[in-house]
Every structure is written in C-alpha cells, then in structure tokens.
Structure 1
Amino acid sequence: MANAPVILITGSDLAAEAVALLQGFELVFAGKQPTEAELIALCRQHNPVAILVRYGKVPAAVMDAAPALRVISKHGSGIDVIDQAAAAERQIHVCSAPGANAAAVAEHTWALILNCAKSVLTLDARMREGFWDKSTHKSLELEGRTLGLIGLGAIGSRVARAGNAFGMRVLAYDPYARELPVGCEAARSLEALLAEADVVSLHCPLTEANREMLNMDTLALFKPGAILVNTARGGLINEAALAEALTSGRLQGAALDSFSVEPLTAPHRWQAINNVIISPHIGGVSDASYVKMGTVAAQNILHVLAQEQR
C-alpha cells in the first residue's frame, strides 16, 4: 500500500482477522525467527510506526532504527522479550495480550502434567518395542495429591480449577493475586509450596527478581518424587540444576515448554534425560488462540496510534 504507515511483524504470518483490522497499514513480515540484525535492517528500510512481536527480541537497537516507532505490541502475554526500559525512555508504548492464550496454555499444562503422572510417552514407546508392562508399572494417581501453582493469573486460575476437578488440593503462591479461585489455598511462602506440592506448575512472568527462582537451593526443597511443569518462561529455572535433580532421581519428572535459549539446538542436555518431556514453546498456540492473540495485538496497536493522534 503506497505511502501507508508500516507495521513490522516479527514473524511470517498473522491471523486473517488481525490482518483485516490493520488494513489501513502496510504490513511487513520479518520471517520466521528474525535476528536482531534483520530487524534493524527492516526498521531502517521501512521506519515502522508499530512492531507486532511474534518471535525474537526487540532491544533498544531495533527501536533506534525506527524513529517513527510509537508502539510495540506482543502477540501473547510475555513482554520479557521487549526491552521495556528502553521503550519507556523513548516514549514507545509496550502492549500485550493477557489472557488471549490462557485456555490453550492451561490445556497444554494439563497435557504435560498427565503425561508425567501417567507415563504416557514412556508406555507408548515400550509397547512399540514389544513390552507389556501391566504387571510392573504403577502410575501416579493425582486425586488427593497437592498441586502447587506459582502464579495465579488467567492461566494459573484455569489450571487451578482443573486441579479441583481432579480432586487435588490446590496450593498457590502469588504475592500479587487479589483473590484466589474457589478451592485454592494460599501458600505461606514459595518455600512452603515447594515442600508440600506433588506437582509444581509455573505460571508467572519472567522478571529480573524471579530469574532462576528454581535453582539448586530451591529444587532441593521439592518433595522427593515430585513433578515440575513449566509452560511459562525458561529463564525461571536454572536448567543445569534441574538436569541434576532429574538425573539424580530427586524429581520423578519434568515437562518443559519453554527454555532459557530458544530455539533449542541439537545436541542439547534434554535429549539425554529420559524423565523430561519437552515441547517447542507451543503451549499458547492453538487454532483459537492464534486468532485471539493476533486480533488483540492488532487492536492494541490501533488504540495506541489513535491516542497518539489526539
């Protein structure tokens, strides 16, 4: 679209519904997993008024390459990939789409919990190898066990309700939560939650204050044989310490949908550890959430730009 303001999308696609909302703009797609250098080059070429962030990071150098930039809108809820301090210094608005992928992430969380507790992948592999483990295998029954949630926003609250449905005691640690879902108890402290939970699931944003909150010391507080699930951010966990807890048998298992460095490159430590399940940070990606995240991200851009013109 000639002379139309540009919106740079750090990905190769966007839901048709979101594209329709942005019809007055020229949309420039940066492609899959764009590098910082590629984003800088595109910003210098197109000088976008907005960046819609699907993949990759947006540091200060990218912002400085786009003098017209007024808003950075995340296609999802996690804005740790955006240098928020740099954006504030440059009076660039940073927006997210909280809750747009909550159902998808909560469902994936439970898929991972159940896979760990019921050894679904292990049993499937054993049967394909010709084994029949009925007389020797015992799965972990969740009813009556304690589910510990770190973070109780839109996703954590959904996971909590499902925990109640499974007959679990639900314990939550979130110093920012104003109220708890029905059937959910507040943990006295993070340490108390880790000591009491049979399943620990992470649902908090990544900040400098909680980076590697699960490390050698805090992992030592877990109940022997506990399960850890992370569908939040990889930086919440010291991965070397978790690998040691898994290989030593301190934890029964773990399931990870996010990692400190993404994408994973082979070989990586998790390939050699049998009691960890890994997925490529797709917990929040579903047919419905793809549309919701795209449209909310687009609406956020439109709202900020409309405010700027007043």
Structure 2
Amino acid sequence: MNASTQKPALIVTGADLAAEALEMLGDFEVVFAGRQPTEGDLVALCALHKPAAIIVRYGKINARVMDACGGNLRVISKHGSGIDVIDQTAAAERGIAVRAAVGANAAAVAEHTWALILACANSVPQLDGRMRAGHWDKSTHKSLELAGRTIGLVGLGAIGRRVAAAATAFDMRVLAFDPYAKEAPAGVALVSLDELFSSSDIVSLHCPLTDENRKMINAQALGKFKAGAILVNTARGSLIDETALAEALSSGKLLAAGLDSFDVEPMPSPHVFQGIANVILSPHIGGVSDAAYVNMGKGAAANVIAVFEEHARSALQS
C-alpha cells in the first residue's frame, strides 16, 4: 500500500496476537477489542473504526457487528478453525469473505484430546484428589487399559487423523464416521454413526458444528453407547445435550467424560457438571498451546492478506 494512504483498520476480537502475525499485518491499523468483548463492545468498536477486516479470537460476529462496519468489511478471519461463531449467511449476503486457519491448531487439539482420554481412562484427577486427602487406593483402583480397545472418531479431518495415528500406536482399533471423507488412513475403518456409537469404548468428537449435528449426542445417541464407555469432546460444546450427558454420567452408563467445550461459554457456574465426579473439565483450551498461538495468528493474518490481494487483482482486471 502507498505510505501516504491511511491504513485500513483491522479489529482483533481479543487482547493480543502473536508478534509474527502482527509483523505480517504491517499494512493495517490493528485494533484490539479486549479479552472478552461483548456484542455491544464490537458494534461500538466497528462503528468507530469502520474496519476492513476482523480477526476473530473470542466472541461472535453477527449481522449487527458486520453492519456497524459501514460497508468497509471485506473479510472475517478466524483465529483457528471453528467458524460457527461467524454468521456465514449474513456474511455471504454482504459479500464478506469468511476464512479459517484450518489445521493451525490441529496438533494442540489432538494432544489435548489424548490428555483427556488418558485422564479419563486412568482417573488421574480423581486419584490426585484422593492422594491429597490422605488415601492410598492401590488395592481398589483399576484403570481402563487402552490396548485392544476401540476408539470411535466423529470427524476425520486434520485433528481426527492425528488422534487416529496415536490410537494406532496404542494398539487400538480405530473407527471413524465422516460423511465427507472419501478415504481413511491405514488402520482406520469408516463406519456408520450408529455402529461407531455401539462399538466404541471411547467416542471422541472432532467435527464442526452445523445445524444438522447440533446436540447429536443426546439421550437417544447415548443409549446406543457401550456401558462403561468414555466420551471426549474437544470440538464444539453444542454437539452435546448436556442434560442427557449429565444423566448418563450420574447413572453409570458412561465410565467418564472429558470435556473441553460447552454449550454456553464461559461455562456458567453453578453448572450440573461441577457436581459430577466422573467428568473432567477444561476451559476450551485444547487449541491453546505455544506453537498453536503463533500458527493460528499467522494463519488468520495470511487469510486476511490473501483476500485483500484477491480484491487488488480483481480491481486491476476490471
């Protein structure tokens, strides 16, 4: 851009961005919205700065936020892969590009998935709590050994495939359901969702949230699970009917659950899960690692730049 031209504004719906990403965005005036911006905060900020781009870290971007940009907004770029927080229909109607940093946090999320699986199978936080209370449960405790067990992956994208590779290393049988997958890695069998639920000792969710799969893990689906199965969710909280899951955990239908995302975030307190001993909770940090922070920032910045370059090429050709 010409140095004499005022830089277009870019709003980050967060308080920070990786230094490497900020360096890439030197042609923009970057404005930070703060740690947990509300819809009102974003509308006011967009009305003030009329941004040409938004990088989404926290919060949701709806039609009201888009319209507050005064027609300047060209691209909404997700700091990560989950674009369900962006009203994609409203963006399309306004000619605003929506982009995701696909795969940027895949390693981090896959690793956290395994942290939750292993913690559930081995009762890690429960045993830690018992030890701190003065107990020694060696004679009564039995972990769930994973070798020879079956893991079912709902979604076989970049994260699901990493989880599958680790499962194979653990000598597990790997099933997957993904209506968009044309093939599966060696050692992974593509099956129906019903077969996955009924055959898996561990069910792990790795799919995007859509109108079709919202609350797909409901009472009916949980009824198809093996008795004593484990459910892990490092995808989107709204994939699960939380009331139904709480009942399945409390009744003993499920051995345990490991949850990193919730229907409402931040998770309200009090919440039914806080009183259930066999659920392990983390505050949607599966994709928040040192490396993923940089990768997501750079990916989000690259997507913004790519859209502006597309606009520049189109302008030259017209």
In structure 1, C-alpha distance between the alignment counterparts of 2:38 and 2:206, rounded to whole Å: 27
* 1:218 alignment partner in structure 2: 221
How far does residue 171 in structure 1 lie from its aligned partner after superposition? Answer: 0.5
Match of 1:42 in 2: 45
Q: In structure 1, what is the equivalent of residue 185 of structure 2?
A: 181
Residue 309 of structure 1: CA displacement?
A: 1.9
- Spell out the pairing of 1:111-130 with structure 2 (5 A cutoff): 111-130=115-134
Supply the distance in 2 between the matched residues of 1:51 and 1:185 (Cα, whole angstroms).
40
The alignment status of 1:137 with 2:137, answered yes or no, reads: no
AA at the equivalent of 1:211: R
Structure 1 segment 87-126 matched on structure 2, within 5 A: 87-126=91-130
State the AA in 2 paired with 1:169.
R
Partner Cα separation in structure 2 for residue 47 and residue 94 of structure 1: 17
Task: Please list the CA deviations of residues 131-188 of structure 1 after superposition, one character each: whole Å capped at 9, or x if unmatched.
Answer: 111111100000000000000000000000000000100010111112111111111x
Amino acid of the residue matched to residue 247 of structure 2?
E
- Partner in structure 2 of residue 161 of structure 1: 165
Distance in 2 (CA, whole Å) between partners of 1:63 and 1:19 is 23
CA offset digits 1:86-136 (Å, max 9, x no partner)? 000000000001100000000000000000001111111111111111111
Q: Deviations over 1:246-270 (max 9, x none)?
A: 0011000001000010001211111
**Normalization by structure 1: what TM-score?**
0.98
Q: Secondary structure at the match of 1:95?
A: strand
What is aligned with 2:58? 55
Aligned equivalent of 1:301: 304
Cα distance in 2 for partners of 1:269, 1:4 equals 48
Which 5+ residue runs of structure 1 have no aligned equivalent? Answer: none
User: Do residues 209 (structure 1) and 178 (structure 2) align?
Assistant: no
| Aligned ranges 1:145-294 → 2 under 5 Å | 145-187=149-191, 189-294=192-297
What secondary structure is seen at the aligned counterpart in 2 of 1:80?
helix
Check if 1:3 corresponds to 2:12: no
Q: Distance in 2 between matches of 1:158 and 1:179?
A: 15
Residue identity (%)? 66
Structure 2 gap segments, 5+ residues each: 314-318
Q: Secondary structure at the match of 2:83?
A: coil
CA distance in 2, matches of 1:29, 1:238: 34
Runs of 4+ in 1 over 3 A off after TM superposition: none
The AA in structure 2 aligned to 1:132 is: W
**Secondary structure of 1:106 counterpart:** helix
> Aligned equivalents of 1:207 and 1:265: distance in 2?
23
User: 3-state SS of the aligned residue for 2:55?
Assistant: strand
Structure 1 counterpart of 2:316 = none
Listed one character per residue, the Cα deviations across residues 35-64 of structure 1 (whole Å, up to 9, x for unaligned) are 111100000000000000000000000000
TM-score, normalised with respect to structure 2? 0.96
Pairwise CA distance, 1:3: 2.8
